[in-house]
Amino acid sequence: MPMPFRTPSRWLAKPSIGPVLLLMAAWLAAPSALAAAADLFKDDVEIEAIPVDGPVYMLTGIGGNIGVSVGDDGVLIVDDQFLPLAERIQTAIDALGGDRPKFILNTHYHADHVGGNPHFGQAGTIIAHDNVRARLLGDDSLPPTALPIITFADSLSVHFNGDEIRLLHLPAGHTDGDSVVWFRNANVLHLGDQLFNGRFPYIDLEAGGTVAGYIANLEAVLEWAAPDVKVIPGHGPLCGLDEVRANIKVLRDTRQMVAAALANGATVDEVIAKGLGPDYAEWGSGFIDEERWIRILATDLQAASE
Ligand SMILES: [Zn+2]
């Protein structure tokens, strides 16, 4: 599979202008398991709408950040968090002047990004990479409305609200089925879980993810995206390419630290006990704490050396 961002001519020319830890178990679980975890979604979880550019907004709540386009053609959303939050998400969309989403784009299959599919798929059309549908099909308990009904291998465009909203599949990084969503005219890029802005990322090695691929995908974004692109990360605050660069540096530096320690004979537990140092305390304060990040790095390094 060619690297999509390294061959931009394949896609299109560049833009013309320039109590979260509690969720860990649920977040990693299949969407169907989340019904049992409904008590995690207290009434005090608020969905906040943050303007990004033009008709594009970011919705935050619990789970992956949601991208929204609201306009004359209706509503399109990117990811839909968790099923128990669906009504609150719709209320936030209504407050922007929107209606029920016509299109739901899934960046990947994780439950904190597609959990609302059974709800939103009743009235809207879900679009995702082939591997997202394949993985969701593996969960027998999901209703048909949870499944993407339009899938693609490399890329797909939705022409909507005066924009070209383009899904670009990435080589394996966070999983083997991730796409980013580029709002071409608005110059907004939803990176899904290819970016945990300011925090160590979860990289799903069991679903085809790799650390090297994850870093390469982010570096490809730097090469390809317009310098002033607005970036919606899968988790963390709205940002731009400077933050993408900062995230790449942390991933590279911490991987190098762990690789060097292991090469010098340290065990993984010894690396964890020693820690990465105070510079990374904040980075380990999210879903993936320092220990989990070191284990991901070590497992990935071991797989890469086999
Ligand atoms: Zn994810």
CA–CA separation, 126 vs 137, rounded Å? 14
SS3 assignment, position 14: coil
Cα(72) to ligand 1 centroid in Å equals 31
> 235 C-alpha vs ligand 1 centroid, how far in Å?
9
Q: 114 near 198, Cβ under 8 Å?
A: no
Instruction: Give per-residue pLDDT as tens, 184-210.
Output: 999 999 999 999 999 999 999 999 999
- How far is the centre of ligand 1, averaged over its atoms, from the C-alpha of 108 (Å)? 7
pLDDT in tens, 46-60: 899 999 999 999 999
**63-82: per-residue pLDDT in tens?**
999 999 999 999 999 999 99
User: Are the C-beta atoms of residues 45 and 115 closer than 8 Å to each other?
Assistant: no
Residue 40: pLDDT band by 50, 70, 90 thresholds? low
pTM of the model: 0.88
Q: Separation of 16 CA from ligand 1 center, angstroms?
A: 30
Predicted local confidence at residue 16, as pLDDT? 29
Pairing of strands 230-235, 188-196: parallel
Instruction: Answer yes or no: is pLDDT of 25 > 60.
Output: no
Averaged over 105-132, what is the pLDDT? 97
Mean pLDDT, residues 279-295 taken together = 95
Rounded CA-CA distance 169/153 in Å is 7
* CATH number of the domain located at residue range(s) 4-241 in this protein: 3.60.15.10
**Residue 12 predicted with pLDDT over 50:** no
